[in-house]
């Protein structure tokens, strides 16, 4: 006979007692480099345009002051946001948290995972980083993406998750 007993809120497992694994330290430097490239891509044309077209000094100073503030925030943001990200591998699932203002925790049970993928961009490979992507039943895109992992750690996680999910493990 089917039974579905009620569980008291006090008996539910929490995420406060887990030890969150941080992302690789090189990920902060990568994000800062990407933001620097973005700033240069925007600043160079703006600088050329404000030099070619005569722009009054006050609007030009305001434009550059705003640009410097935005550039500083873009450089500092990875140091603020990335410590808030982390993951935990538990016996039956994997948790991922992110967010500074809007915080979220995603839990993916191993028995729902159908596919695990590791990917890396050229910048990721330069910093020895990779992204782990977990696909569950019924999803067309990855249900969980953990970027900023050391490449070796990403491969270890891929093999562990596939084993826990009951898949045939393919070694690279």
Report helix, strand or coil for 20.
Answer: coil
pLDDT average, residue stretch 88-116: 92
CATH class of the structural domain 86-165: mainly beta
- The stretch 55-73 carries a mean pLDDT of 89
Percent over 70 (pLDDT), the chain: 94
Asked whether the predicted pLDDT for residue 142 surpasses 70, the reply is no
Structure tokens at 86: 């982390």
What local confidence, expressed as pLDDT, does residue 59 receive?
85
Q: Is the pLDDT of residue 72 over 90?
A: yes
Q: What is the mean pLDDT of residues 18-25?
A: 92
To the nearest whole number, what is the mean pLDDT of the chain? 89
Q: Hunting for tokens 């009951």 — which residue is that?
A: 166
- For the cut 80, the answer to whether the pLDDT of residue 171 exceeds it is no
Q: Alpha helix locations (H) across the chain? A: 26-52, 57-81, 122-126, 151-165
Higher confidence at residue 171 or residue 47? 47
Q: Mean of the pLDDT values across residues 68-75?
A: 94
CB 91 within 8 Å of CB 13: no
Calpha distance 20→78 (Å, rounded): 18
Backbone phi, psi, residue 151, to 5°: -55, -40
Q: Which residues contact 15 (CB under 8 A, 6 or more apart)?
A: 88, 95, 97, 105
- Which pTM was predicted? 0.81
Residue 41 confidence (pLDDT): 94
Query: How many Cα atoms within 13 Å fall on the side-chain side of residue 96?
Result: 16
| Contact status, residue 88 vs residue 20, Cβ threshold 8 Å | yes
């Amino acid at each position: 006979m089917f039974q579905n007993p009620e569980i008291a809120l006090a008996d539910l497992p929490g995420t406060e007692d887990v030890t969150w694994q941080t992302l690789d330290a090189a990920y902060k430097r990568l994000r800062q480099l990407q933001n620097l490239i973005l700033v240069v891509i925007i600043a160079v044309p703006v600088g050329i345009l404000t030099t070619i077209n005569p722009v009054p000094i006050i609007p030009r100073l305001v434009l550059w002051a705003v640009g410097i503030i935005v550039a500083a925030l873009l450089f500092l943001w990875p140091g603020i946001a990335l410590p808030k990200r982390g993951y935990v591998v538990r016996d039956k699932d994997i948790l991922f948290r992110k967010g500074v203002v809007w915080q979220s925790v995603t839990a993916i049970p191993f028995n729902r995972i159908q596919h695990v993928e590791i990917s890396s961009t050229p910048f990721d490979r330069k910093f020895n980083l990779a992204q782990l992507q977990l696909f569950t039943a019924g999803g067309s895109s990855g249900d969980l993406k953990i970027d900023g992992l050391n490449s070796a750690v990403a491969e270890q996680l891929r093999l562990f998750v596939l084993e826990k999910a009951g898949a045939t493990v393919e070694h690279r």
